[in-house]
Amino acid sequence: PENIMLLDKNVPKPRIKIIDFGLAHKIDFGNEFKNIFGTPEFVAPEIVNYEPLGLEADMWSIGVITYILLSGASPFLGETKQETLANVSAVNYEFEEEFFSNTSALAKDFIRRLLVKDPKKRMTIQDSLLHPWIKPKDTQQALSRKASAVNMEKFKKFAARRKWK
């Protein structure tokens, strides 16, 4: 997507930076906040359904971004904005073999735990930082993580497809 910038080019492990927080809002603890803004393929179901928002909505977006970075495909993109929003609301996505043949079970588990409809059941920031795909507990998990890196070729194709939509 346009808001994910590569900091390093032509390196095996590029770093990314997420930019453009023009629609971002600070949510004060204890205050209810609802919003209907955002790019349809990245918004959480609670945004689509105009429900109260919290950090859980950001965790959903991290799941979508991770899916895209590993596969070069968008998990919820439909033919129309309405179809995309319906896919988000129904949490209608798959790990298609065409895009995920080289992706580890741990990486898919990381995504799966973020793309949960109920915000209260979604992985938290703390949980995600301790997930074995992010913080491997043994050599096997570390090797699994290496196998599931950003697929630059697929990501470039994804970015090119978005420019023509």
Give the chain's mean pLDDT: 83
CA dist 30 and 152 (Å) reads: 41
CA dist 125 and 58 (Å) reads: 9
* pLDDT tens digits for range 5-43: 777 777 766 677 777 766 676 777 777 777 777 889 999
CA dist 56 and 47 (Å) reads: 11
CA dist 132 and 129 (Å) reads: 8
Q: Which CATH class is domain 4-164?
A: mainly alpha
* pLDDT tens digits for range 66-101: 999 888 899 999 999 999 999 999 999 999 998 898
134 backbone φψ class: left, alpha, beta (φ>0; ψ -120 to 50): alpha
CA dist 165 and 148 (Å) reads: 28
- Alpha carbon separation from 71 to 55, 76, 121, 158 (Å, rounded): 25, 13, 25, 9
**pLDDT above 90 as % of the chain:** 45
Comparing C-alpha atoms, which of 118, 134, 136 is closest to residue 126?
134
Least confident window among 119-123, 131-135, 139-143, 150-154: 150-154
DSSP assigned state of 94: -
